[in-house]
Chain A
Amino acid sequence: MEVSLKTVWKNFSKYQFLLVELVKKDIKLKYRRSYLGILWTLLEPLLTTAVLTFVFDGLYHRGDRTFPVYILTGRLLYSFFSNATKAAMKAIRSNSAMIKKVYVPKYIYPFSTVLSNYVTFLISLIILAGAMLVFRVPFTIYTLQAVVPLLMALILSIGCGLILSTLAVFFRDLEYLWSVVLMLVMYTCAIFYDVSDKKFADKEPFMKLFNPLYDIIVNFRNAIFGTPLNEQALIISAIYSFGTLLIGILLFYKKQDDFILNI
């Protein structure tokens, strides 16, 4: 079947409203039954950062007053990535009733899942801004650069989400495998340790090369702490992000007609 970008775009705009509805639904339902509602998006990173600061600052006796901001930057990005990809992985299967009945472009399910996680992530950045004020990390012109790593994180998550949601249709045990991978990603993301420490000096090149999320976090931190972006990390994260997106689109497109036979 011939597919031109124009028909894809036409189809997409037809279902734009559905995309918005699905994103809204995800966010609404997540907090419907909780007393504090959407406030949890702010409270949760705040509490975990407090714990991490307490543990690791105490452990290393760093005495750096901006350490909580350092942790927050890494943690917020990592938890977005992990939540978004985990949820996207289940997107096709949890919407199987819909998929079996009415024609809707199927990518809309993993895509909307990642987007809804992105929206809550963006809201949670309020906490980061607050922490910057409290711990006196100045806002500079460099802060605006944060847009770049934030965009990379979104593209990377959409790409991974498409790949995972496709594979998860055929292999149900992928969930367990992915949580192991996520654990590896977390520990090599330098969320709560400082890579400039000489203990990590020899590991850093590997992390840079093989963990795109680490590169994204590095540049996010550069932006927040008012230094220029690291070019190398930027290039590597861009290659990974657009690469996974491309692979994700191709894989999803190739396999989507078989979904219905397996869900």
Chain B
Amino acid sequence: MKEKVLVVDNVSMKFNLMEKKVDNLKEYVIKLVKNELRYQEFWALQNVSFSLNKGDRLGILGLNGAGKSTLLKIIAGVLKASEGKVTIKGKIVPLLELGAGFDPQYTGAENIYLYGAVLGYPKEFIREKYQEIVEFSELGDFINVPVKNYSSGMKARLGFSIATIVEPDILILDEVLSVGDAKFRKKSEKKIKSMFDNGVTVLFVSHSLEQVNRLCNCALILEKGKLIAKGKVKDVSAIYEAKINEN
């Protein structure tokens, strides 16, 4: 029996949507006095359960608003589930919105240390890998320029290079395989492929069935926060295709 690295157990996520967004004290007090504070409950995820073995590559399918991002955020630890539990073994690296965590005033070099620290890498490790990161990102002399002067492609390249410098146990990919120019895209795909070969567990969100079929070995479909199908990628993508076509 293979080792289970990710167990998602009966996870539900409830959002309290205020009918009108109140974000200041004045309005809050007025509404409180008038008794107008109303919340609307909204379940983004309901009783989602699945587990992944080491080396599994899971494609997450679903239309916009199905709860895919919420699920990934809960697994990444950014959001806390209202109910249920997520158990993770090993290091998890999210490749989401690359470069969003950079400080624009800081140079690329300084951001390597900062971002590395955010991802929880120790200092010596970053120092050791620094050269490798700079080389992989192909930024050259730009590494000493503040990030605010970078193009979005350059930012994404740097973000990708930092995030993938470790060998994570679980990798979260949210349509990031389209980073940078064609040349860098090839390189990043190669890097991710090599991670696949090393047996990394992958969670992959995409709207492209073709990509999911190519990269994943299992899949699940979310619809309005509910898990409606899971299993082998072939079976699930067939169900998904049928679903799309029926509408």
Contact = CB atoms under 8 A, between A and B. Distances in A.
Interface stretch (A12-20, A36-44, A185-193): A12-20
Interface stretch (B111-119, B128-136, B183-191, B224-232): B111-119
Interface stretch (A62-70, A92-100, A146-154, A217-225): A92-100
Contacts of B78: 99-103, 260
B158 to A, nearest CB: 15
Which interface class (under 10, 10 to 19, 20 to 34, 35 or more) fits A? 20 to 34
Interface stretch (A47-55, A172-180, A200-208, A234-242): A172-180
B113 A21 contact: yes
A21 B79 contact: no
Interface residues of B, number: 30
Interface of A: 14-15, 17-18, 20-22, 25, 28-29, 32, 97-104, 170-174, 177, 257, 260-262
Contacts of B90: none
Contacts of B25: 171, 173-174, 177
B54 to A, nearest CB: 21
Interface of B: 15-16, 23-26, 28, 73, 76-80, 94, 96-97, 100-101, 103, 105-106, 110, 113-114, 117-120, 122-123
Contacts of A20: 117
A102 B94 contact: yes
B84 to A, nearest CB: 13
Contact of B105 (A22, A32, A177): A32
A4 B101 CA distance: 30
B135 to A, nearest CB: 22
A257 B80 CA distance: 6
Nearest to A103: B77
A25 B102 CA distance: 12
Contacts of B103: 25, 29
Given A101-B96, A102-B76, A102-B78, A29 B106 contact: yes
Contacts of B94: 101-102
B23 A104 contact: no
Given A25-B106, A97-B101, A260-B78, A102 B118 contact: yes
Contact of B122 (A17, A32, A261): A17
Contacts of B123: 17
14 contacts: A17-B123, A18-B117, A21-B114, A25-B103, A32-B105, A100-B73, A101-B100, A170-B23, A171-B24, A171-B25, A172-B23, A173-B24, A257-B80, A261-B16
A15 B96 contact: no
Contacts of B120: 14-15, 18, 104
A101 B15 contact: no
